[in-house]
Amino acid sequence: MYLSVVCFRFRNSVIVSLHLLYWMIEGMLYVLSSHYQRCVLYFFYCAMNVYSAFCGIPFKSVVFSLHHIANIIFNTTLNVLFSGQKYRLEVGFQAMEHLINVLQTDRSDSEIIGYTLDTLFNIVSNDLEEEEQEENSQKQVDDLGRQFTEIFIKQQENVTLLLTFLEEFDFQVRWPGVKLLTSLLKQQGPQVQQIILVSPMGVSRLMDLLADSREVIRNDGVLLLQQLTKSNAAIQKIVAFENAFERLLDIVTDEGNSDGGIVVEDCLLLLQNLLKNNNSNQNFFKEGSYIQRMKPWFEVGDDNSGWSAQKVTNLHLMLQLVRVLVSPTNPPGATSSCQKTMFHCGLLQQLCTILMATGVPADILTETINTVSEVIRGCQINQDYFASVNAPSNPPRSAIVVLLMSMVNERQPFVLRCAVLYCFQCFLYKNQKGQGEIVSTLLPSTIDATGNSVSAGQLLCGGLFSTDSLSNWCAAVALAHALQDNATLKEQLLRVQLATSIGNPPVSLLQQCTNILSQGDKIDRRGSKVQTRVGLLMLLCTWLSDCPIAVTHFLHNSANIPFLTGQIAENLGEEEQLVQGLCALLLGICIYYNDNSLENCRKEKLKQLIEKRIGKENFIEKLGFISKHELYSRAAQKPQPSFSSPDHMMFDHEFTKLVKELEGIITKAIYKSSEEDKQEEEVKKTLEQHDNIVTHYKKVIREQDQQLEELKQKVNTLKSQNEQLQTAVTQQMSQIQQHKDQYNLLKVQLGKDNQHHTSHSDTLQMNGIQPEEISKLQQEIEELKNKHEVLQGQLREKDSVIENMKSLQSETGTNEQSSQITAGLEHGNELHRELEALRIQIQSQSLDISKLQSEKQELLQQMNTASVPALGDSSAVIAAKNSELEGRLLQEIKELKNDVKALSEEKALLKQHLDSVNSTVAVLQNEKSKLQQEVAESKKEQDDLLVLLADQDQKILALKNKLKELGEPVEDEDDIESGDQGDEDEEEDGEEED
3-state secondary structure 369-421: HHHHHHHHCCCHHHHHHHHHCEECCCCCEEHHHHHHHHHCCCCCCHHHHHHHH
CATH of the domain at 184: 1.25.10.10
On whether residue 731 sits in a domain, the answer given is no
Higher-pLDDT residue of 838, 767: 838
On whether residue 275 sits in a domain, the answer given is no
What number is the average pLDDT over the span 953-968?
Answer: 73
Q: Residue 480: helix, strand or coil by DSSP?
A: helix
pLDDT confidence bin for 979, thresholds 50/70/90: very low
* Contact between residue 597 and residue 550 where contact means Cβ atoms under 8 Å apart: no
Helices (H), 812-873: 815-866
* Structural domain ending residue among the three candidates 652, 680, 708: 680
Tell me if the pTM is above 0.85.
no
Lowest mean pLDDT among 441-445, 754-758, 914-918: 754-758
Among candidates 450, 427, 507, which has minimal Cα distance to 436? 427
Lowest mean pLDDT among 699-703, 761-765, 792-796: 761-765
User: Residue 882 above 80 pLDDT?
Assistant: no
On whether residue 853 sits in a domain, the answer given is no
Lowest mean pLDDT among 165-169, 515-519, 896-900: 896-900
pLDDT confidence bin for 384, thresholds 50/70/90: very high
Higher-pLDDT residue of 470, 945: 470
User: Residue 815 above 50 pLDDT?
Assistant: no
Highest mean pLDDT (candidates 82-86, 514-518, 798-802, 911-915):
514-518
Q: Residue 187: helix, strand or coil by DSSP?
A: helix
On whether residue 767 sits in a domain, the answer given is no
User: Residue 101 above 80 pLDDT?
Assistant: yes
User: Residue 813 above 70 pLDDT?
Assistant: no
On whether residue 252 sits in a domain, the answer given is no
Q: Is 168 left (phi over 0), alpha (psi -120 to 50) or beta?
A: beta
325-379 pLDDT tens trace? 999 999 989 999 999 999 999 999 999 999 988 888 889 999 999 999 999 999 9
Higher-pLDDT residue of 328, 106: 328
What is the pLDDT, as a whole number, of residue 65?
42
Higher-pLDDT residue of 8, 172: 172
Higher-pLDDT residue of 711, 422: 422
Query: Residues in the chain, how many?
Result: 994
Arithmetic mean of pLDDT over the chain = 77
What number is the average pLDDT over the span 432-455?
Answer: 77
On whether residue 415 sits in a domain, the answer given is no
On whether residue 692 sits in a domain, the answer given is no
Q: Rounded distance, CA 913 to CA 840, Å?
A: 15
* Structural domain ending residue among the three candidates 680, 707, 739: 680
Helices (H), 595-673: 603-613, 616-623, 625-628, 630-635, 653-671
What number is the average pLDDT over the span 251-279?
Answer: 93
pLDDT confidence bin for 20, thresholds 50/70/90: very low
Higher-pLDDT residue of 678, 417: 417
* Structural domain ending residue among the three candidates 201, 220, 235: 235
The residues, any chain, with a CB within 8 Å of residue 601's CB and separated by 6 or more, are 555, 561, 590, 594
pLDDT confidence bin for 719, thresholds 50/70/90: confident
The domain tally of the chain equals: 2
Full residue range of the structural domain in which residue 145 is found: 74-130+139-235
Lowest mean pLDDT among 295-304, 315-324, 580-589, 727-736: 295-304
On whether residue 786 sits in a domain, the answer given is no
User: Residue 32 above 60 pLDDT?
Assistant: no
Q: Residue 118: helix, strand or coil by DSSP?
A: helix
